[in-house]
Amino acid sequence: MEIYKTTVKGIGAEAKLFENEKLLILFGENAPDTLKDYCYNIEVLPIEQTIASGMKLQFDHQSFQITAVGDQVQKNLSDLGHISINFNGEKLAELPGTLYVEAKTYPQVSIGTVITISF
């Protein structure tokens, strides 16, 4: 069951720089000028339930199991569309605004990519 669904609306000029660090940054339409070049711009939409470890994060058809959820992920994603996604498989959320997912091949993200969270 899907608890969150959004679409990538834009890609900052430097957003792909974090691929080598296995990090992806999402931000809604109101990203500050100092950050928007580093973010994948998404539509800010409500989250239907609490995001938890064990759920699935999907970029179109690329699926990743969520391994840890920072304590500010829910609020930041809901209010600003802003979180970092770390593809390192960490089981403990070190940063409050970061969603951690299993260590797999970095996703292919383009304008129009649909991002979902489900269980």
CATH code of 13's domain: 2.40.33.40
Burial class (CB in 10 A: 0-12, 13-18, 19+), 98: buried
End-to-end CA distance of the chain: 5
Q: How many domains does the chain have?
A: 1
Locate 8 and state its tokens: 């990538």
> What was the pLDDT predicted at 45?
94
pTM of the full structure: 0.95
Is residue 15 within 8 Å of residue 38, measured between CB atoms?
yes
Residue 77 has a CB neighbour count (10 Å cut-off) of 24
> What was the pLDDT predicted at 105?
92
Residue 56 β-bridge partners: 65, 118
CA distance 108 to 31: 22
What domain range is 28 assigned to?
Answer: 2-118
> What was the pLDDT predicted at 23?
97
- Kind and range of the H or E run holding 80: helix 73-80
> What was the pLDDT predicted at 5?
97
Q: pLDDT in tens for each of the 119 residues of the chain?
A: 999 999 999 999 999 999 999 999 999 989 999 999 999 999 999 999 999 999 999 999 999 999 999 999 999 999 999 999 999 999 999 999 999 999 999 999 999 999 999 99
